[in-house]
Each structure stands twice: as structure tokens, then as C-alpha cells.
Amino acid sequence: MKSLLFKILLFVRPSIVYQQIAQHMMSSLPFAQLLGIRIDAIGPGTAETSMPDDAKLHNHIGTQHAGALFTLAETASGAAMAGGFAELIMQLRPLAKQATIRYQKVAQGGTLARAKVEGDLAALKAQLHAERKLAFPVQVDIFDSAGVQVCQMQVDWHLSFKEPKA
């Protein structure tokens, strides 16, 4: 029932659906909450997340800790994935299968992650319906407060339809 409502709202008022996805994600990700991560925007296969500058998130040289940056990017990738499959997300079991991160520079201050599902969403959805499962990458770019790109990440997501409850 909720999937049908999401489909209708996605057509009429997509911002409501994306807001619901963001709220659900943040309520189910206590570690992201602990780090102060926010989901700032979700769209069809895109997302932006941010994390404040906080001494508790720093490493031994006083910049954003690599683990915190990883969590910021992984959260953004999940939000982009959910936004790309918004009308189906309640029927799906998403799992991050693999992640690769490349740290390029130290992150000064707060950070922002921008994520995008790779590939054509319509083709990915058709494949998901045909095969009942799907694997695909989400690319994430992370920037510090000066707008400097500090790292890139790719998260390979695996989606499958939930089994009906007996």
C-alpha cells in the first residue's frame, strides 16, 4: 500500500517522497546521527549529505577522520540509491556490497558529499524487474568547507525484492 502511495506522490509531489526517505534513513542510521551527518537533498538517483566540523570527528592531525568521511559518503550513496528507486524502495532489500574510497587531500572544516547512481535509472529498473535483483555502482564526491574535493568513493549496491511474508 505504501508503495502505491509513493508512486502517486512521486508523480505529484516528489519532494514529499524524498523527505520521507531521508527521515526514514536517518532514523535507522544511528551511527550517522552520532557523527552529525545530515541528508540535505535526495533526488532521482542523486543525494547530498553533510557533516559538521567537530573536534570529536578529527584525526591525529586535526582534520576530518577518514572513517567519518567514509560514513558520510556511504550515507550519501544510500540516499542516492533510495532516491533512484523511490517508488520501489519499500519492496526492496538494499545492501552495500562493496565500497572503494580514494582519499586525495585532508578535509578542513565541515564536509559535503554528492552522490549519483551510475547508469540509466529506467534501464536499471527494467533489469531489476526482469531479474528480481540488481547490482550497480553509486559514485560519491566529497568536498571540504573550502570546496576542495578531498576524496571519491564508489559504493556497489545490491538490490533484491523482499520475499513475501508467509
Q: Could you report the per-residue pLDDT of 109-164, keeping only the tens digit for each?
A: 999 999 999 999 999 999 999 999 999 999 999 999 999 999 999 999 999 999 87
Report the C-alpha gap between 158 and 12 in whole angstroms: 28
3-class secondary structure, 96:
strand
Q: Does residue 28 fall inside a structural domain?
A: yes
Establish if 16 belongs to a structural domain.
Answer: yes
The three cell numbers of residue 144 are 571540504
Instruction: Please report, for residues 73, 91, 155, 160, the alpha-carbon distance to residue 98 in angstroms, rounded to integers and kept in the order given.
Output: 13, 22, 6, 16
Looking at the domain assignment, is residue 82 inside a domain? yes
Count structural domains, the chain.
1
Task: Cell numbers for 92, please give them.
Answer: 526492496
Within-domain flag for 88: yes
Catalogue the long-range contacts made by 42-45 (C-beta closer than 8 Å, 24 or more residues apart). 42/18, 42/79, 42/80, 42/82, 42/83, 43/14, 43/18, 43/83, 44/14, 44/83, 44/84, 44/86, 44/121, 45/80, 45/81, 45/83, 45/84, 45/116, 45/117, 45/121
Residue 64 pLDDT > 70, yes or no? yes
Average pLDDT, the chain: 92
**42 domain-assigned:** yes
Q: Is residue 149 part of a domain?
A: yes
Which pLDDT value is given to residue 117? 98
Give the domain CATH number at 120: 3.10.129.10
DSSP3 helix / strand / coil % (the chain, rounded to 5): 40, 35, 25
The parent domain of residue 69 ranges over 2-161
Written as nine digits, the cell of 126 is: 527494467
Residue 166 lies in a domain: no
pLDDT of residue 31: 95
